[in-house]
Amino acid sequence: MTRFDFHIIRRLLAGFVSLVAVLIVFFIVLHYVEYVDDFFDRGATMRQVFLLYYPSYIPEIVKLTSPLALFLACVYLTAKLAQSLQLTALQTSGVSLYRLLLPYLIVAITLTGFMFWFNGWIVPKTNRAVLEFEQQYLKDASQVVEVSDIHRQNQPGSFLTVGYYDRRSRVAHRISLQQFNEEHRLVERIDAPNMTWIDSLSVWRIEQPVVRDFRSSNGIERRSHVVRIDTTLRILPRDLARTERDVESMTIPAAAEYIEDLERSGAGSIGRTKVGFYGKFAYPFANLILALIAMPLSAVRRRGGQAVQMGLGLIVAFAYLAIIKLTEPFGYSGELPPLIASWMPHVLFFAVALVMLFKARK
């Protein structure tokens, strides 16, 4: 690597950090203006808003804005080099565009790897505080997917039915736990008015259950009343009252296990959850793809100078991010497989980046 490469890397990183900082402030100001009425109406204090909520939200903002910040940094720097004829001089001296792309690739690949780790393991931890705050103080908080008439498979042959689940107190009301044998005959049923999650013991406590046993050879039902039963189920509180954004507060391994549990238990409406999970892998690649697009897009001198370059760059970047948001609902509803809905925009724009690089003046 040459001194020129290190110079480009330093300027790209400086521009990226500056733009991320500006976008954080911009986002927080807009968000506060939009939701300040909710904060006051629902009793949130300024201390909670600015010392708890927004500091916890900053990692999410960094995740969302990093591709745009890197893209604009690349466009600005490349356009400046092009307008001052430095790129032309380098290409005239025999340096190809692909060689000039090296420092951009180093920065983009490094940031992509960093954002994959950041998005998969750091952002979920801070998002827990964000989601809890929004549930309490924002009217537009993520909605609970299921609250009543919930049916879950505990394990093969074992099924749980819940009349209503209170997410806040972790109490399931009007529960019925049925056990079937290999011939699909009901062999045991436990009915109870409520079942409470005991976090310290990691068990469900069933209060005043009625246990009905159908294993008798003569077909007579044996019924017994018990004060309480503490039992471990494969069904956890998060499986009974899911919100649309639960996966945002989970690391990649935890989210994978969560989706597996939902599929095993027969939960419905998990398209949004799967799209959010696959997005943890796909979205960081937007950093690399937009950097690949920025170089050939802004390497040509244009009439109007850097302002035109930045304008074109913003159009491309917002088109990319808009397509991501437009395809996600198709994965939520199942019209597209969640995996395809998550990756399709990135594959499409990666192809666009390769075409632009191929057609660019070498």
Same domain, 160 and 134: no
Same domain, 323 and 289: yes
Same domain, 9 and 111: yes
Residue 261 maps to a domain:
no
Residue 90 maps to a domain:
yes
To the nearest whole percent, how much of the chain has pLDDT over 70? 95
Residue 214 maps to a domain:
yes
Length of the chain: 362
Helix axes 306-333 and 285-298, enclosed angle (nearest 10): 150
Q: How many beta carbons lie within 10 A of that of residue 157, not counting itself?
A: 13
Overall domain count for the chain: 2
The β-bridge relationship of strands 148-155 and 158-166 is antiparallel
To the nearest whole percent, how much of the chain has pLDDT over 90? 64
DSSP sequence for 276-305: HHHHHHHTTHHHHHHHHHHHHHHSS--TTT
Q: Given this model, what pLDDT does residue 206 score?
A: 96
Residue 142 above 70 pLDDT?
no
Could you tell me if 200 and 117 are in contact, meaning their C-beta atoms sit under 8 angstroms apart? no
Q: Where are the alpha helices (DSSP H) in 42-147?
A: 46-48, 54-83, 86-92, 97-100, 102-117, 123-137
Mean pLDDT of 176-189: 92
Q: What is the pTM of this model?
A: 0.86
Q: Given this model, what pLDDT does residue 114 score?
A: 98
Same domain, 7 and 135: yes
pLDDT band, residue 184 (cuts 50/70/90): confident
CB-based burial label for 104 (10 Å; 0-12, 13-18, 19+)? buried
Same domain, 170 and 313: no
Same domain, 297 and 324: yes
Residue 64 above 90 pLDDT?
yes
Residue 112 maps to a domain:
yes
DSSP state of 53: I
Same domain, 13 and 134: yes
Residue 57 maps to a domain:
yes
Q: How many beta carbons lie within 10 A of that of residue 267, not counting itself?
A: 21
Q: What residue numbers bound the domain in which 50 lies?
A: 3-140+274-359
Residue 359 above 70 pLDDT?
yes
Same domain, 311 and 201: no
Write down which residue in 219, 241, 263 finishes a domain: 241
Residue 89 maps to a domain:
yes
Q: Given this model, what pLDDT does residue 305 score?
A: 63
Same domain, 162 and 231: yes
Residue 173 maps to a domain:
yes
Same domain, 126 and 55: yes
Mean pLDDT of 203-208: 96
Could you tell me if 210 and 196 are in contact, meaning their C-beta atoms sit under 8 angstroms apart? no
Mean pLDDT of 15-38: 96
Residue 259 maps to a domain:
no
Same domain, 125 and 155: no
Write down which residue in 216, 241, 266 finishes a domain: 241
Same domain, 164 and 135: no
Write down which residue in 200, 222, 241 finishes a domain: 241
Q: Given this model, what pLDDT does residue 143 score?
A: 66
